[in-house]
Structure 1
Amino acid sequence: MRTIVEKKGVIMLHVGFQIRDVSLALDKYLTQLAIKHDAENLDGPQGAVLFFLHTHRGVEIVQKHIEQFLSIQKSAASGLIKRMEKNGFISVQSHPTDKRYKLIAITELGEKKYEAIIEFLAASENLITDGISSQDLTVFKEVLQKIKDNVCSVECK
């Protein structure tokens, strides 16, 4: 049952329920689209690590860089790196001069997954924003930020 709010004589659906409905529909759509683009389970930290490694090719990357990029603890980064290495997305090798560090690099499979993520993001953004002007999107983003600020003024402290 939906909560209806009457405001200035106009009956409106409660904003919180509209946000929830959009969130549920978007989650269902994105899950199906991710499978279609072979990008499932890569929308979170693993996808972010692939993005980071792809954009820092040629740079020596160690676990500390990933911890800082994702703002996560050493133990979380260690588990993430182990899973990604097990999945074949990254390679981990000893640092040639400092054995305390392991060098982390994106593999060929990791690059393919990165490209799948980029295709997935483009396809999802195209559908989500279809028929919406850039001006309307700007206003929408500002309103979403204001809603987040309102909620966080109470809950995010």
Structure 2
Amino acid sequence: MPGRLRMAMLGLAVAVGLGLFSGMASAHGVGYQESDLRPVALDFFYSTGELMSYLKAEVFSPSDEKIAYQSGRTDAGGRFAFVPDKPGKWRVVVNDDDGHRAEAEIDVTQEFMSGGAAGGIVQEKKAAPEGLDLYLRAGLGVSLLFNIAAFVLLFRRKRMV
């Protein structure tokens, strides 16, 4: 009996010891905190106003134009955000599987990096044509309609002769 009692006491001591140090024995700890760095957030959309949701997005830093600094996907609202680590011209490219591609250039200033009032300057690009581009596209559309009408009239005229 003393042998069994000794084994039981040893087993109890090991179990208590393991229980007390189990929190310290984990291989890796994890944690998080709110970052004080400012992100650059962009909204991506098609010319129809439809959001570019859940599409592949890549960020290219000023120091490397070929290898992506960050990659991910836009969210449900067509938004994508990143935190630049140095000032300069940053590029964000969003692609869909149908050949549409949106590219944004952001000029991140030193003031933005230090949390000042002046931030990353985003060159906003509208999806809908404006100004001269709008008139050029409208003129091309009207020209296309006239050319189709002329083709139909010429085709009918040849059939009559």
Does the TM-score normalized on the shorter chain lie above 0.5? no
Scaled to the shorter chain, the TM-score interval is under 0.3
Bigger relative contact order, structure 1 or 2 (CA pairs below 8 A, ≥6 apart): 1
Higher helix share: 1
